[in-house]
């Protein structure tokens, strides 16, 4: 019995993206391995059902976005059930849909920042997160103000690409 093109697609997706997707799902589910495995399985099933969504774009960000949406939807479904069902005690995410989205986006931005080179990350931390002027950042970092400006420009471009890969930037 030969494997179909659909089976080959699923196997290839799992082989290439299964590990990182499971790690991501584990973080989203607060370490609940069973729930994370269910999220990975459902994500791959959706990819199989919608192969057109995978063409003309990077696959991993799409898979991560689907996984994130599944976790958020599951959390919202748990929150909408009456308390007597006893399902609230296992909720891994904070209450409130906006809080969930903000927390997940914040985590993904932090992960994208970690992907930047140390010099790029340093200028963004000084100028954007610590609110320092170019001159102040130059003094703290021990580099010329012009270097702070150019590094900030290129760091923002790199950050935008990192966020696009995660499905966060337009």
Indicate the pTM of the whole model. 0.49
- Assigned token pair, 34: 């069973």
pLDDT, tens digit, 9 for 90 and up, residues 148-160: 999 999 988 988 8
1-93 is classed CATH 1.10.3470: no
Assign domain 95-170 to a CATH class: mainly alpha
Please report, for the chain, the start and end positions of each structural domain, with discontinuous segments joined by +.
1-93, 95-170
Question: What percent of the chain is predicted at pLDDT more than 90?
Answer: 16
Model pLDDT, residue 7? 77
Four-point Cα dihedral 27, 57, 114, 131, nearest 10: -110
Q: How confident is the model at residue 139 (pLDDT cuts 50, 70, 90)?
A: very high
d(CA 95, CA 76): 9
**Cβ contacts of residue 32 below 8 Å, gap of 6+?**
26, 90, 92
pLDDT (0 to 100) of residue 25 = 87
Q: How confident is the model at residue 120 (pLDDT cuts 50, 70, 90)?
A: very high
Range with the poorest average pLDDT among 60-69, 82-91, 115-124? 82-91
pLDDT in tens, 14-43: 888 888 888 888 888 888 889 989 998 998
What CA–CA distance (Å, rounded) separates 87 from 78? 6
């Amino acid at each position: 019995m030969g494997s179909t093109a659909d089976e080959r697609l699923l196997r290839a997706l799992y082989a290439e993206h299964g590990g990182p997707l499971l790690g991501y799902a584990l973080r989203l589910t607060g370490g609940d391995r069973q729930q994370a495995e269910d999220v990975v399985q459902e994500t791959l099933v959706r990819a199989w059902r919608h192969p057109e969504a995978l063409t003309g774009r990077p696959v991993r960000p799409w898979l991560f976005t689907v996984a994130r949406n599944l976790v958020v939807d599951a959390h919202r479904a748990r929150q909408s059930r009456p308390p007597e069902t006893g399902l609230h005690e296992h909720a891994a995410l904070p209450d409130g849909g906006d809080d969930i989205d903000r927390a997940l986006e914040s985590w993904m931005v932090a992960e994208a920042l970690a992907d930047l080179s140390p010099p790029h990350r340093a200028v963004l931390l000084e100028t954007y997160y610590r609110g320092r002027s170019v001159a102040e950042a130059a003094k703290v970092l021990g580099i010329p103000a012009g270097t702070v400006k150019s590094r900030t420009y290129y760091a923002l471009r790199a950050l935008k690409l990192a966020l696009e890969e995660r499905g966060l930037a337009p």
